[in-house]
Each structure stands twice: as structure tokens, then as C-alpha cells.
């Protein structure tokens, strides 16, 4: 059976390539990523969904040359959009059950 890991440490994030400690601190400062646990950077751990958004944020930072404040807004909107899309799919499904 394969090992499933729910937490990722800062050290591991840096090994994933593209991340540096400085980037992770920037992302946390701007609310893009929130450590699930740990008081300082050496103890921080992140959940796997945060890793996904962090990767998106770093890509946007380099590819579109936009600053962290703008990225935190973009990521926030992308996340809200994902929630709304999910909600809309669910309501549509419920409505269909109710009408048909």
C-alpha cells in the first residue's frame, strides 16, 4: 500500500523546486498560504491543498511578473471561483431533482 501524506514541511516545499524560504514567507505574509501548524518557519507544515495554491501563486508571480499583493487577490478570486462553480453545479443538480 502506498503512503499517504497529509502534511508538507517548508524543507520539503523547497525541495519541490521553484520554492525558496523567502517565497514561502512572502506567501504566508500575504495570506496566500497558511501553515496548518507550527509557530515559526522551521516548524511550519502545510496541507496539500495549500501546496497546490502556493505552486499556482509562484507560477503567476514569475510568469506574469505580478507582485504578491496582486497575486494574493488573484488566488483569493480563483479560490472563490472554484467554490462558486462547485456550488452552482450542486444547485443545478438539486434543482433538476426537484423539478423532474
Partner 1 sequence: MDFKDYYQLLGVSEDSDSKDIKTAYRKLARKYHPDMNPDPGAEDKFKEVAEAYEVLKDAGRRAEYDELRQHGNRQGAGFEPPPNWQRSGGFSDADSTRFEGDFSDFFNSMFRGGATEADQQPKGSRGQDAEIEMPIFLEETVTETSKLVEYQIPVYENGQVKDVKKSLKVKIPAGTVDGERVRLKGQGGYGQGDGPHGDLYLHIRLVPHPLFDVEGHNLVITVPLAPWEAALGAKVTVPTLTGKIHLTIAPNSQAGTRLRIKGKGMKTKTGTGDMFALLKIVVPSSANDEVKALWQSLAEKAEFDPRAQWSNE
Residues in the interface with partner 1 (CB under 8 A) total 33
Q: What's the rounded Cα separation, in Å, for the pair 74 and 58?
A: 12
3-state SS, 15-63, equals HCCCCCHHHHHHHHHCCCCCCCECCCCCCCEEEHHHHHHHHHHHHHHHH
Sole binder of partner 1 in the list 11, 20, 88, 94 (CB under 8 A) = 94
CB of 20 to partner 1, least distance (A): 11
With CB under 8 A as the contact rule, the residue among 1, 22, 40, 69 that binds partner 1 is 1
Residues that bind partner 1 (CB under 8 A): 1-6, 8, 15-18, 48-49, 51-52, 55-56, 58-65, 78, 82, 86, 90, 93-94, 97-98
Amino acid at each position: 500500500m502506498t503512503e499517504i501524506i497529509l502534511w508538507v514541511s517548508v524543507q520539503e516545499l523547497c525541495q519541490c523546486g521553484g520554492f525558496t524560504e523567502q517565497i514561502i514567507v512572502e506567501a504566508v505574509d500575504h495570506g496566500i498560504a497558511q501553515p496548518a501548524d507550527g509557530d515559526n518557519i522551521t516548524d511550519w507544515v502545510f496541507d496539500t491543498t495549500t501546496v497546490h495554491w502556493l505552486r499556482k501563486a509562484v507560477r503567476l508571480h514569475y510568469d506574469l511578473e505580478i507582485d504578491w499583493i496582486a497575486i494574493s487577490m488573484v488566488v483569493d478570486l480563483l479560490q472563490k471561483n472554484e467554490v462558486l462553480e462547485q456550488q452552482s453545479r450542486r444547485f443545478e443538480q438539486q434543482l433538476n431533482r426537484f423539478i423532474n
